[in-house]
């Protein structure tokens, strides 16, 4: 219902993080900061939409349809844009990913999981478990092998003292206990080899050291060609 579900999720993960000792109680204050501005935008939209439908002098079915379609994602609650604040960074590096706006809901898309060749939605592969997600998008010629940009990034995240992953992961905890790193490749999943990927994308987890096969994906082209 508009943005109420998103608001509930916003507050829910913050409450969980505080109760689990992962975040200070001050993080709860960001709920009002983020949601008050969005609520005002929704009120303004509803007022304009109601006026458009009730004013006979402005009665234009085509214009009303265009307006509704134009704001469809907003009325569905998926176009909420949080302004730069404690949890949302500024648009300093937005040019690096123009299709993924900072502060807006993460755009999901169909992918193929490399571990089993299953097609699924990238966003649907994330559990609502309170973890932070770091999604790395590989270049066209990057297959994740040693020395590649993705492998270099993974090495930094697991070995550098400046790594955010290492900074917030408690000793003895799983490598993805707090920050879950995943990668999306452009190479065909037939050419990508799980065992050749960095340890961070194919980690041994739990007391039995079982491998996690759910951290690497292949993007599906617009023509849905799974072979190229």
158 DSSP assignment: H
Instruction: Report residue 66's pLDDT band, with 50, 70 and 90 as the boundaries.
Output: confident
- Length of the chain in terms of residues written: 228
Query: Rounded to whole angstroms, how far apart are CA atoms 193 and 114?
Result: 8
* pLDDT attached to residue 151: 96
Q: What's the whole-number average pLDDT of the chain?
A: 87
Report whether 11 contacts 23 (CB < 8 A).
no
Pairing of strands 179-185, 216-219: parallel
Per-residue pLDDT averaged across 67-91, rounded? 79
Q: Residue 64 — very low, low, confident or very high, per pLDDT cuts 50/70/90?
A: confident
Residues 6+ apart with CB under 8 A from 174: 203, 205, 206
Position of tokens 């999306």?
184
% residues pLDDT > 90 (the chain): 54
How do residues 151-196 score in pLDDT, each as one tens digit?
Answer: 999 999 999 999 999 999 998 899 999 999 999 999 888 889 999 9
pLDDT confidence of residue 222 = 56
Residue in the structure block whose two tokens are 């809901």: 105
Share of the chain above pLDDT 70, in %: 90
When pLDDT is averaged across residues 41-49 and rounded to a whole number, the result is: 81
Closest alpha carbon to 17 in 8, 6, 28, 7 = 28
Return the CATH fold of 110-219. Answer: Glutaredoxin (3.40.30)
To 5 degrees, how large is the angle CA 142–CA 166–CA 172? 115
Which pLDDT score, from 0 to 100, does residue 70 have? 67
Tell me what pLDDT residue 56 has. Answer: 67
Residue 131 pLDDT more than 80?
yes
Q: Is the pTM of this model over 0.85?
A: no
Q: Report helix, strand and coil shares of the chain as percent, to nearest 5.
A: 40, 15, 45
Among candidate residues 147, 148, 180, the one with its CA nearest the CA of residue 164: 180
**Residue 169: its pLDDT value, please?**
92
Structure tokens at 195: 């065992």
d(CA 65, CA 76): 15
**What pLDDT score was predicted for residue 75?**
67
CB atoms closer than 10 angstroms to residue 94:
13
Per-residue pLDDT at 228 exceeds 50: no
Q: Where in the chain is the domain with CATH 3.40.30.20?
A: 110-219
More confident residue, 155 or 69: 155
4: confidence class by pLDDT, cuts 50, 70, 90: confident
Task: Compute and round to an integer the Cα radius of gyration of the chain.
Answer: 21
Residue 226's pLDDT band (cuts 50, 70, 90): very low
Cα separation, 34 vs 201, whole angstroms: 33
């Amino acid at each position: 219902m508009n943005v109420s579900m998103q608001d509930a999720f916003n507050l829910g993960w913050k409450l969980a993080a505080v109760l689990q000792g992962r975040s200070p109680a001050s993080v709860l204050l960001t709920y009002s900061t983020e949601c008050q501005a969005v609520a005002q935008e929704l009120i303004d939209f509803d007022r304009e939409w109601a006026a458009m439908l009730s004013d006979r002098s402005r009665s234009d079915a085509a214009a009303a349809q265009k307006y509704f379609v134009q704001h469809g994602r907003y009325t569905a609650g998926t176009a909420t844009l949080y302004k730069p604040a404690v949890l949302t960074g500024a648009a300093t590096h937005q040019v690096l990913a123009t299709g993924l706006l900072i502060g807006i809901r993460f755009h999901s898309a169909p992918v193929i999981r490399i571990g089993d060749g299953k097609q699924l939605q990238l966003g649907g592969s994330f559990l609502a478990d309170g973890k932070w997600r770091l999604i790395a998008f590989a270049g066209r010629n990057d297959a994740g092998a040693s020395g590649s940009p993705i492998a270099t990034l993974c090495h930094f995240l697991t070995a550098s003292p400046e790594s955010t992953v290492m900074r917030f992961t408690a000793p003895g905890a799983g490598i993805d206990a707090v920050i879950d790193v995943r990668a999306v490749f452009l190479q065909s999943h037939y050419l990508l080899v799980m065992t050749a990927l960095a340890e961070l994308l194919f980690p041994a987890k739990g007391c039995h050291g079982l491998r996690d096969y759910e951290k690497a994906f292949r993007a599906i082209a617009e023509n849905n060609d799974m072979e190229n």
